[in-house]
Structure 1
Amino acid sequence: MIRRWTSDLLLGMRLALRGGGARTALVRLGLTAVGVGLGVAVLLTATALPNMLGARDDRGAARMPVAGAVGGVDPAYVVRRDDEFRGRGLQGYLVQPTGPRTPAAPGVDRLPGPGEAVLSPALVALLDSPDGELLRPRFSQRVIGTVGDAGLTGPNELYFYLGSDSVAGQPEAAAVSGFGGTADRRGLGPIELLLVVVGATTCLVPVFVFVVTSTRLAAASRDRRLAALRLVGADRGQVRRIAAGEALLGSLAGLVLGGALFLLVRVLVPKITVSGFRGGLFGADVVPDWLLGVPALLVLPLLVCAAAVFALRGVVIEPLGVVRRAARARRRLAWRLLPVLAGGVLLATTLGTTEPGATDPAVIGGVVLILAAVPVLLPWLVERFAGLLRGGSPAWLLAVRRLQLDSATAARLVSGIAVVLAGSITLQGVYARAESDRPPPGNVSVLANSYATQLADVRDFTATLRALPGQGTVPVRTSGLVENATGKRTAVVVGTCAELHSDTGLRDCREGDVYAVGTPAPDVYRPAPGDRVWFGHARRAEPAVPPQWTIPADRFHTAVAPPDNGAALLVTPAALATATSVGLTSSAILPTTDLDLVERVRNTVGWHGTVYSLGTGRDGTYALITRVLSVGSVLILLLAAGSLLIAAWEQLRERRRSLATLRANGVGRGVLARSLLWQLVIPVAVAVVVAVLVGLGLDWLLLTLVVRRPMVVDIGTIALLTASAAAAVLVVTAVTLPALWRTSSLEHLREE
């Protein structure tokens, strides 16, 4: 039996290459291979996602500084700096080596000394390009090398190590003896997970539909070949195995093509640049999880073979010909509603959980079932809708009659477009919900923090900041921490009398005064006149730092109403004249929508502080997911439109005799062209209505039951997606017109 099955499958493979004409056989084989190949590429990429993110996180952890002393190692003082440039993340460390045996970070030969820099290749390229003009003032150091792949989370990451001789005195500076830490794997948020689940389903279901549809192309010529095999002695079981063999060859070719497409994905992945995503991904990290991938890949060939055999259920293949069952039973709706109902029930089960997640099997199963229900419902809906149509022009009558005779083929052709449209509407609904939670573009502000070790630094920062266009009166606040000999600390605010009056309502102030306010907790330092204090962590520095400031006794005041900022010590600048050094932070919030001004503020602060753009940030993982899924949706929509085009060509070829007969009886080519247009418009219109309803319904279910957020409907996006489906029909019709002119030629009347 095994030998007989193998022989039948091999015969089917040979017929797939040579049967029905070489061109037709290759087209059918190519379509099946493309459909299976796309599915293989998507599945392999999906199973590689955990490895991609895990490898990125591991490299990020490997460059984390490790504090503490180690024998034989000269420690290095490091301070992390997170910055931005035109929306792109910019991270790195300021470093101050203390000796020749300083540890090196991953991907770096040695840490840079004062005035030196080690930059990532992407950062070097950006600085050398015209786009990096506003970034160059922040990197005036001499570049002594580049960071290797081992020290980067992605090939496009903007990362740096800058040498400085003032790192040890900066807040948050730490002495480190090595690099390496534990990866902090950040999980995806609920909306991000929904995007992944819905997007992957939207991309995969049309591929399955396309695979199934491609096995039915040139069905008439295939059936004639099978009838010939029946004539030479093949039984019905052999006929089905031979048909499965024809489909199996296409699926095996698709596995090879899918592997090639996956390798192409590995090449293209490093070129993905997304704001804030830490520089994208290395192609070497795109490694599938074969425990998940291999079983998933086996599903596609089995699906192709099953579809080819299932397509024969309505055909009686006898030795003397092929008979298609003329008595067509009306399609039943009941079982077609089961996927929708089952999907809704699965999503509804999440109501019983405290924090439902998009990775819950119930959520994934619900999304898959509801989107997969679209191609199941469409044949019934197209059949019922076509049966209601009456009257009209000759072109309309020809189109309607054709749909009434064979609505299943038309429904299969538009199923891919309907699934992509429904999934895209759901995705856009999730996008709209996420975007509605973000600040509007006009509410943008910049928070600038500058660390100072001398009062002159505070004055210089304030003057430079207020010299920027439109920022002449921007308020600047200066604060810090002071610590006494017992290790207790308290907050301090430094400002002129006018600034202190504006912030705290302080009255009767004179320059040089110091005010102790509020009633601090027992473990908080209570300033007293004559106390000798340190700023920040200076008391604990190595070597020991003597007290940096003595609180003046003659200008010390108490019993002032506590300020809103919680500071226990208010100091005017003149009172710090006797301080040997200070550790203060000057902060300013600048409301602005000028992106160039934001970069100038960053250049003003330099690496002595931080600058945050409030209201402009976008999560990098969210940005990557939305871009990848948007591109994937467009590609799948193009695939669906391409399958519609190829199937239309194939139908014209199979109907060439009937079209030639119509031409011979006086039907003009314009009538035939309009008839072809209506044959596409009617099922597409039904598909669009179904897609919109399913997309909005799934969007409501996901946001209400899973994310538990109100639904946001983006009418403009839905209209745009609907228009794209209509445009696909017009393009397909226009492209098939030359084929229509050829197939309706009178010479086809002579064909047998």
Structure 2
Amino acid sequence: MNGTGERARAESKLRAVVRDLGMGLRFALAGGREGWVRALLTGVGVGLGVALLLLTAAIPAALEERDRREEARLDWPFTSQMAESGADDTLLVTRVDTQFRDRGVRGRVLEPEGPKAPLPPGLEEFPAAGDMIVSPALKEFLASDDARLLRERLPYEIVGTIGEQGLIGSQELAYYAGGTGLADRLGSGTVRLTAFGSPEQLTPEELDPVLMLLMLVVFVVLLTPVAVFIATAVRFGGERRDRRLAALRLIGSDAAATRRIAAGEAFAGALLGLVLGTVFFLIGREVAASFEVFGVSVFPSYLNPSPLLALLVAVAVPAAAVLVTLLALRGVVIEPLGVVRTARPTRRRLWWRLLLPLAGTVMLYPMVGQGRDQGEFNQYLVVGGVLLLLVGVTALLPWLVETVVARLGKGSVSWQLAVRRLQLSSGTAARMVNGIAVAVAGAIALQMLFAGVEDDYTRATRYDMARAQMQVDVSRGMELAPAARKLTETEGVQHVHALSEGYFGDAPWRQEPERFTSLTVGDCATLRVVAELPSCRDGDVFSLSGKYDTDTPSLNRPGQKLYLEVPDPADPSSYGEDVVWTVPEGVKQGRSIPDPVGDERGGFLMTPGAVPAEVAGAVSGKLYIALDESVPYAREHVRNTAAAIDPLSEPMTWRTNERSDRYESIRTGLFVGAACVLLLIGASLLVSQLEQLRERRKLLSALVAFGTRRRTLSLSVLWQTAVPIGLGLLLAAAVGVALGTILLRMAGASVRVDWTSLFQMTGVGTGVVLAVTLLSLPPLLRMMRPDGLRTE
């Protein structure tokens, strides 16, 4: 009997729990206008966070798909995929990448040597000579007015578009053109392939510990604000909900039942948020194909969340909504005659709020000073420590807002209205800005970390930017003087230094010479760019001893035969016929100075009159170009002229610094993620602001009815937003600098505050708040109408 009674009581309790949860669901979805408006606001707030979580869950698959497609179209000269001679299954491919303004354009010229030649991914047939097949983005761009200079550079007719399988992004600019005579260019950017792609799985380069630390911190910093936003969204309309629960207590519901009903409402809002979040994600996935952010674009098919991660989101969001609701109700006493929260609350305690950032610091401290040379950072400690420090912002901010606003008082009417409202509901004001405070704190810490380790991943180039800003390589055998003349006449070009280069050996190159030296050919004015010469006229030959050149003095003997390095056109890995030059009498001595590239040359310098015809036809040329930066698009004009001289040339733009590709890709990922989080911040703040205004609609209408000016009420709403935001940004700056300092110490970098980034991040947060406030003014003015006093 006892067992039967216990079982019956358990079943009765279970039915009560299900009944209470179901009642909460009905209140949320069928509770009249107030019910579904609150549910919709909650659903939108949660949905925005869910959409970003699903996007994050789709990123690993998107990156994997981008890598797969990039690998499938590789045309690197892998030995197992190259052929020494043409056959019916070989293809000649020349790389002709270019750049237009700040965007890269991937280009390949193709010449099939037989009917079985491999097709690149995304192509159904080879383009004929003079035709090209382009990516959809490039086709659209070439049709625009902005692409006039790029159209001049690509003298091909568009005959088709590249399929999705041949592109790594929807906005990628790429083309395949048909060509002829590419066999003569083997070894000069041209390869003979039997297949595209890698013959074996490429092993990804391992990240050093500091880059791994950057990735982990980026991951935590971008996702923590999303979780905070979701936790805030499920508490929309909390005051009205608590009054409704008090009414339920009045008709006989106990405290446990009211909490279960509240949990049911939160669960309904979270479920609606999951549905809306999925819709937002699907819409965003389609829209994402139309944009390129920091050079990265995707196809909608890339953005498929991992089923396991999607399931985790689907379970975690409703569970978190119920948990947050139950925790929030612990501080609220709901009695039949009202909600005790409307009385003056007890002051918030500080000591336990300090435990979160303290615990985070304790987790990170053991890795201080570890750097990249002391092994891997513990991923769990890094994630946990950063997470606790950021979550500490959400714990400290309510106490800070309450403490500060309790001491505010005198001022204008709008100021007093705002301060009194903040004193009555400081927790609500703090919750509204928690997300942006967390985001700003994380962004400041990341900016400090990036700035602190940037020098380790940035290499200063040796280019002399005062003498040249671009370089064009001219293929072996092409006349250099006409090319230099055309570039000199190009709009935006101030001067061109033209040098031909090659290498001499003391024996034929097939026999592997023991001693070798370099050859530089140019007129007297150009040779003085690389060396100090005693005197110079056409026909002179000079000898230099470079910094690392020990062979030239021994080779500079009259009558010494030197052999020019000449690759075999049919097989670039071997050497062609010997071109011999005999050292003449009267070679002058010069002194090497840094050239535009920053090198101190050795070897022989020749003026054009001293160069035999067979030598002139076997050296390759380099053109160093000084630009007039005041001419618009000067670099584009140079690229167009270079393409007219040699369609297969690839002009290079010099830079003072070069960054690690892995570091740059992580930095780009941060910017892309930060842009998405920033949009979420703005949208969630706007929804939260509208919910707060809806809660106070009758109060605002009553104040207007009693003669309060709309301007006064509008300013009071602005103050109600500005005060907690200001305090939140101050706290975010403090926590961000502290976290950034710890991360820099962990990375073994010198600690310095990046004040520019700090002010930029706080400025961005302030700008988002101002934009949200302006967008909330129209509904605010509508809510101030006296008819808002109507009730049912």
Category of TM-score, reference length = shorter chain: 0.7 to 0.9
Q: 1:451 is matched with which residue?
A: 474
The answer as to 2:596 corresponding to 1:573 is no
Contact 1:513–1:557 (Cα < 8 Å) also in 2: yes
For residues 505-544 of structure 1, what are the structure 2 equivalents within 5 Å? 505-507=532-534, 511=538, 531=561, 533=563, 535-538=565-568, 541=571
Contact 1:57–1:184 (8 Å) recurs in 2: no
Map 1:205-220; keep pairs closer than 5 Å: 205-220=224-239
Structure-2 residue corresponding to 1:636: 680
Is structure 2 residue 64 aligned with structure 1 residue 54?
Answer: yes
| Cα shift readout 1:538-590 (whole Å, capped 9, x = no counterpart) | 27738998626331465695987778644434444342314594241323142
Shift of 1:331: 1.1
Residue 426 of structure 1: how far off its partner (Å): 4.7
Aligned length: 740
Give TM-score, length-normalised by structure 1: 0.85
Shift in Å at residue 23 of structure 1? Answer: 1.8
- Residues 623, 562 of structure 1: alpha-carbon distance in 2 compared, 3 angstrom cutoff: closer
Q: Larger deviation: 187-196 or 460-469? A: 187-196
Pairing 1:20-59 to 2, within 5 Å after superposition: 22-59=32-69
Aligned mate of 1:650, from 691, 694, 700: 694
Query: Equivalents in 1 of 2:113, 2:676: separation in Å?
Result: 51
> 2:638 corresponds to which residue?
601
Q: Is the 8 A contact 2:541 2:607 kept in 1?
A: yes
Give how far 1:525 is off. 12
Which of 582, 603, 614 aligns to 2:654? It is 614
Match of 2:496, SS state, is coil
The AA in structure 2 aligned to 1:8 is D
Pair 1:184–1:110, CA change in 2 (3 A)? farther
Mapping for residues 615-694 of structure 1, pairs under 5 Å = 615=655, 621=665, 624-625=668-669, 627-653=671-697, 655=699, 660=702, 676-694=717-735
Q: 1:587 aligns to what?
A: 623
Corresponding position: 1:342 with 2:359: yes
Cα distance, 1:9–1:608 mapped onto 2, change above 3 Å: same
Q: Does the 8 A contact of 1:201 with 1:371 survive in 2?
A: no
Q: Which stretch of the first structure deviates more once superposed, 622-631 or 368-377?
A: 622-631
Question: What one-letter code is carried by the residue in structure 2 that aligns with 1:612?
Answer: M
Correspondent of 1:178 among 195, 199, 208: 195
User: SS in structure 2 opposite 1:102?
Assistant: coil
Alpha-carbon distance, 1:301 to partner: 0.9
Distance 2:525 2:243 in 1: 96
Paired with 1:143 and 1:391, the residues of 2 have a C-alpha distance of 72
Q: What amino acid is the match of 1:741? A: M
Taking the TM superposition and a 5 Å limit, the aligned residue runs for 1:467-478 are: 467-469=489-491, 471=493, 473-478=495-500
CA distance in 2, matches of 1:273, 1:485: 50
Correspondences of 1:245-260 after superposition (within 5 Å): 245-260=264-279
- Asked whether 1:494 is paired with 2:494, we answer no
Where does residue 404 of structure 2 map in the other structure?
Answer: 385
The alpha-carbon deviation at position 633 of structure 1 amounts to 4.1
Counterpart amino acid of residue 476 in structure 2:
T
1:7-406 matched pairs, under 5 angstroms: 7-19=19-31, 22-65=32-75, 66=78, 67-69=81-83, 73-112=88-127, 114-162=129-177, 163-169=179-185, 170-181=187-198, 182-183=201-202, 185=204, 201=220, 204-230=223-249, 233-274=252-293, 276-277=295-296, 280-318=297-335, 322-324=339-341, 326=343, 328-355=345-372, 360-392=379-411, 396-406=415-425
298-307 vs 416-425, which moves further: 416-425
CA distance in 2, matches of 1:284, 1:430: 34
**C-alpha separation in 2, matches of 1:107 and 1:10:** 53
The amino acid that maps onto 2:734 is L
Q: How far apart, CA to CA, are the structure 1 residues paired with 2:403 and 2:149? A: 64
Q: Deviations over 1:52-89 (max 9, x none)?
A: 11211111111123443399644333332332111111
Return the offset for 1:186.
6.3
Note if contact 1:230-1:318 (Cα within 8 Å) is conserved in structure 2: yes
- Structure 2: which amino acid aligns with 1:245? G
Task: Report how far residue 37 of structure 1 moved.
Answer: 1.4
Distance 1:164 1:603, change over 3 A: farther
Superimposed CA distance per residue, residues 299-337 of structure 1 (whole angstroms, 9 cap, x where no aligned partner): 211111112222322333445655448573321111111
Q: Contact between 1:357 and 1:706, CA under 8 Å: does it hold in 2?
A: no
| Amino acid in structure 2 at the alignment position of 1:494 | V
**Would you say the 8 A contact 2:475–2:621 is kept in 1?**
yes
* Alignment partners' CA distance in 1, 2:724 and 2:670: 30
Partner of 1:550: 580
2: distance between equivalents of 1:316 and 1:37? 30
Partner SS, residue 272 of structure 1: coil
Q: CA deviation at 1:381?
A: 1.2
TM-aligned CA deviation for residue 135 of structure 1: 1.5
State the partner residue of 2:509: 484
Aligned twin of 1:503: 530
Does the CA-based 8 Å contact 2:532-2:590 persist in structure 1? no
Rounded Cα–Cα distance in structure 1 between residues aligned with 2:766 and 2:62: 36
Matched residue SS, 2:389: helix
Report the counterpart of residue 8 of structure 2 in structure 1.
Answer: none
Closer/same/farther in 2, CA of residues 25 and 191 from structure 1, 3 Å limit: farther
Equivalent pair of 2:263/2:326 in contact (CA under 8 Å): yes
3-state DSSP of counterpart to 1:56 = helix
Three-state SS of the structure 1 residue aligned to 2:155 is coil
Residue segments in structure 1 that go unaligned for 5+ positions in a row:
none
RMSD (Å) for aligned C-alpha atoms: 4.2
Provide the secondary structure at the position in 2 that maps to 1:135.
helix
The Cα shift of 1:165 comes to 1.0
Letter in 2 for 1:504: A
Paired with 2:294 and 2:760, the residues of 1 have a C-alpha distance of: 23
Q: Distance in 2 between matches of 1:641 and 1:185?
A: 40
Q: 1:534 to 1:478 in 2, by over 3 A?
A: closer
Per-residue deviation, 1:517 = 5.9
Moved more, 85-94 or 534-543: 534-543
Cα deviation, 1:326-368, whole Å, max 9, x if unaligned, reads 5733211111112222333344333242328899343333333
SS at match of 1:468: coil
Q: Does structure 2 retain, via aligned residues, the 8 Å contact 1:343–1:365?
A: yes
Per-residue CA distance 1:94-134 (angstroms, 9 max, x = gap): 34433333222222234446444333333333333222211
1:463 aligns with 2:488: no
Q: Is 2:48–2:684's contact at 8 Å kept on the other side of the alignment?
A: no
Mapped to 1, the partners of 2:328 and 2:570 lie a distance apart of 80
What letter corresponds to residue 598 of structure 1 in structure 2? R
Distance 1:193 1:653 in 2: 50
> 1:404 offset after TM fit, Å?
3.2
Shift of 1:254: 1.0
TM-aligned CA distance change 1:704 to 1:134, over 3 Å: farther
For residues 406 and 517 of structure 1, the distance between their equivalents in structure 2, rounded to whole angstroms, comes to 81
